[in-house]
Every structure is written in C-alpha cells, then in structure tokens.
Chains A and B, each alone.
Chain A
Amino acid sequence: MWGSTVGKKTVMAVSGLIMLLYLVVHMIGNLKIFFGAGEFNHYAHWLRTLGEPFLHYEWALWLVRIVLVIAVVAHAVSAYQLSRRDIKARPTKYVHSKPRASYATRTMRWGGIILGLFIVWHILDLTTGTVHSGFQPGHPYQNIVATFSTWYGNVIYIVAMLALGLHIRHGFWSAAQTLGVGSRARDRALKTVANVLAVLLTAGFIAVPVGVMTGVVS
C-alpha cells in the first residue's frame, strides 16, 4: 500500500475523509456559541466527560485526538512524498505555459501548508493557550471572544477557513476518485456534495468570528 503512488493516494483519501468527518462535528459544536456562554462552556465540559462512567475523564477526547494526529501525519507525509515525486517527474517547465486546472486544484499544496500551520496556531491559541494572553482554562467561550477581538485572530482564522473550503472542494471529489467510487453517473452528485461541504464548513466556521465582530457573541 505505502510503496505505490496509488496506495499513498489511498492513505491521503482515507485520512482526509477522517479529518472531514471530524470537521463537520467540530463546526456543528462551534455553532453552540450562539446560545450563550453557559451552554457553550457546558458543551465543552461534556466533551471531556463523554463515555463516562465506562471511560475515564477525557479518555474519549484523547482517543479522538490520537486518531486525528495519526490522520494529519499520514496525510501530510504522503502529500510531501507524492509532491516531491511529482516535481521530480516534471523537472522542465514548458516555455509556452498557461494557467492550468481549477484554482482549487492548483492551490492544494500551498493550501495544505497553510492549513497545517493554522492547526498549530489554533491548538496553541485555544487548546493550550500558549500564545493566548489571559487564557482562562475551562472557559472556551471567553477565550474565543478574546481571540476574535484581535484583528490578527480574525485574519488568520478567516484566511485558513477559505483555504479549507478550497481544499475540501477538490479534496473530497478527488478522494472519491482515488477510492474508486466515482463514476460518470455519480460525478455530478459527488461534485455537488464536495461544493456543499466546502461552503457549509467555511460558512459555519467563519460564522463564529463574524458573530464576535458584529457583537452577536460577546
């Protein structure tokens, strides 16, 4: 599986779909911020008690985190190795070159790098609070409002979410082709699902900083 380009693409497709599934759940959870600090912070606490009493405190959360770390690493390593190979396979550019493929397709690599850097900042900002001045552990509502009260917090977040939308638009459809489930009859449906997912996730995530900026969330 790992030794073949087709196999590595399969790893990328499966890890991408795992992350996509997580993002849908994450986005829906984020929208609870519009119901006030009490409900949002209660939801955040519930995530830690998920599965009790069968599971210990935070076990479910750590399980999700471990799966996500594996998915991110597998996705990034295969993307890096495949990209290296692709660049090596086409060392000479055409003298007469024209813009090729769609914008979403051409920005997959840079978009992926932006998303990787964003994930690091996002965790340091809202999970560990390392780069967040006045971070209040256990009070995610207040931390989110603080982050989106800064201009750079909004810029980083919104740029990353636009990159996410483009990445999903090409990525979801590509994953279907890599896993061999695409067909002529299903092509329009798959492209529609990819576009709907991209728009819903981008809009759903961006709703939070927009809510803070407009004062709906404060």
Chain B
Amino acid sequence: MKLTLRVWRQKNADADGAMSTYEVDGISPDMSFLEMLDVLNEQLILSGEDPVAFDHDCREGICGACSLVINGDAHGPERTTTCQLHMRSFKDGDTIDIEPWRASAFPVVKDLVVDRSAFDRIIQAGGYITAPTGAAPEAHATPVPKPDADFAFEHAECIGCGACVAACPNGAAMLFTSAKINHLNVLPQGAPERETRVLDMVAQMDEEGFGGCTLAGECATACPKGIPLMSITSMNKEWLRATRKAPKR
C-alpha cells in the first residue's frame, strides 16, 4: 500500500505546530497503524529528519498509552485502540490525517504526544480504596452481588486513554471520571469513600479545566472499551446523592 500522511508536527509545548505531508510506500494491510508510523519514522531517520513523536506502550490494546486522532476519529475508524487498528481498514492511495488529542487539559508535549497527567490527578483525588495491602484476600470474604460485579467490571475496563476527551466537542472528561467512580462506588470495598470519592473526583475534573457534558454522546462512540454513555448518568446520580449524604468535614 502507498499512503499519503498528513501529520501534526510541533517541536515542543510552546512552539506553533502545523500539518506536514509525508508519503509512505510498501505498507502491508496486516501492519498495525503504529507499525505503519514506525515505517515512516525509519524513513525520516534515514533522511536525517526528526522522527514523529507518538505515545505507545503495550501495543495490545490494554494499557491506554496510544492515542492519535485519525481522520477526525479518536483511535481511527474502528472501535479499538490505535495499536489494534490495522492498515486493512484503509485503502491503497488513501490520504490519512493524524492529529493529537485536542483539549486544553491535555497540552501537546511534542508532535502527537499530549500530557495526560490531568487524569492521574483525578485518580489521586479519589480513584482508590482505603484497604490494607498485602496478599490477595479470600475471594468469598466479601460477597458481591453478580449484577454489581458486572457493573463494576464494565466500568473497570476503562484504560484511561483519553479518547473520550479527544472526541468530546467540549473537551469533557465526564466518561473517564464516571467510569472510575462507578467502578468503585458500586462495590462494598469502595463503600467507605462512596460520597467523598465522587465529590472530590468531580471537583478535580473541573479544576483541571475539562469542559462540561452536553450529552452529545461522542465519548461513548469513541471509547475503545465500550464504556456506555449511561455511565455519566450514574455518576450524576452518585454526585447528587453525595451532596445530600456526604459526612461534614
């Protein structure tokens, strides 16, 4: 396959960026999208140019490191992560636009790499449980009803990639934050901080400069893990409950 790539190039956080056009040839349809970028980078290095910087780690679709807005879609045209997107989703001769996540809370570090540490700070605000660490406890010690376990697991699938923020017309992090809150709030292990968790994490989300939710639904469409839009509804319910029931501190 021969492709024309239009890639966002930006030297550093303060520099102005622009789209640059590159040609790549000999791309196999079985390559992943990131392998295709590896081919481009080898080509750039050989010609003495600066390779395109992009985030990646496991390349198995489970770590949440890869990003990229491909032809206007977060993680490209398939419902998966960029690393699990294959070149067979494109045609020979295609022009592909590759841009970084766009949100003021996710500033561009270089080229296609953005700083997602705002997500880490949302987790630090309450995305944990206070429990003794050590050996795994006996699995039956704390019974969890099956529907609750399923609900928790559905939300625990979030890998924190930030596609929801990238796709949202308001740059909102509601889907990420709601997945993390719902995952813990429904379980008995998360019960002691049920109210403070949702209040503190929503407050941190606002603090980071993410937008608000207008229920456009773009986040849930882009999510590679299929976190449902209703996750946000559940978080709103938890937030309203917490404003009534939170212990006074």
State the CA gap A82–B105 with chains docked (Å).
16
B208-248 interface with A by 8 A CB criterion: 209-218, 228-230, 232-241, 243
Q: Other than the known A5-B211, A86-B170, A90-B211, what 13 A-B pairs have Cβ atoms closer than 8 Å?
A: A6-B235, A85-B170, A89-B103, A94-B102, A97-B72, A100-B216, A105-B216, A106-B216, A177-B233, A177-B236, A179-B237, A180-B234, A187-B230
- Offer 23 A-B interface pairs, CB within 8 angstroms, sorted by A: A6-B212, A82-B212, A86-B214, A88-B211, A89-B103, A89-B105, A89-B171, A89-B172, A89-B209, A90-B102, A90-B168, A93-B102, A95-B6, A96-B69, A96-B72, A98-B72, A100-B169, A101-B169, A105-B215, A176-B233, A177-B232, A179-B236, A187-B230
State the CA gap A6–B169 with chains docked (Å).
17
State the main secondary structure of chain B at its contact with A.
Answer: mixed
With A95-B19, A105-B216, A183-B233 known to touch, is A90 a contact of B103 (CB < 8 Å)?
Answer: yes
Q: Is the CB of B212 within 8 A of A85?
A: yes
**B206 interface hit (Cβ, 8 Å):** yes
With A10-B240, A88-B104 known to touch, is A5 a contact of B213 (CB < 8 Å)?
Answer: yes
State the CA gap A179–B239 with chains docked (Å).
10
State the CA gap A73–B97 with chains docked (Å).
43
B60 smallest CB distance to A (angstroms): 27
**A167 interface hit (Cβ, 8 Å):** no
Q: Is the CB of A4 within 8 A of B206?
A: yes
Chain B residue contacts of A88, Cβ below 8 A = 104, 209, 211
Q: Which of B205, B211, B243 has the largest number of chain A CB atoms within 10 A?
A: B211
Chain A residue contacts of B237, Cβ below 8 A = 179-181
State the CA gap A92–B217 with chains docked (Å).
20
State the CA gap A57–B19 with chains docked (Å).
68
State the CA gap A180–B244 with chains docked (Å).
14
> CB within 8 Å of B: which residues of A?
1, 3-10, 82, 85-98, 100-101, 105-106, 108, 170, 173-174, 176-184, 187
Q: B85-107: contact bitstring with A at CB < 8 Å (1 yes, 0 no)?
A: 00000000000010100111100
**Number of A-B pairs whose CB atoms are under 8 Å?**
126
Chain B residue contacts of A98, Cβ below 8 A = 72
Q: Is the CB of A95 within 8 A of B97?
A: yes
B135 smallest CB distance to A (angstroms): 37
Q: Is the CB of B19 within 8 A of A6?
A: no
A2 smallest CB distance to B (angstroms): 11
B75 smallest CB distance to A (angstroms): 14
With A6-B239, A182-B233 known to touch, is A95 a contact of B171 (CB < 8 Å)?
Answer: no
B22 smallest CB distance to A (angstroms): 15
From A109, which residue of chain B is reached at the shortest CB distance? B214
State the CA gap A91–B97 with chains docked (Å).
19
From A183, which residue of chain B is reached at the shortest CB distance? B230
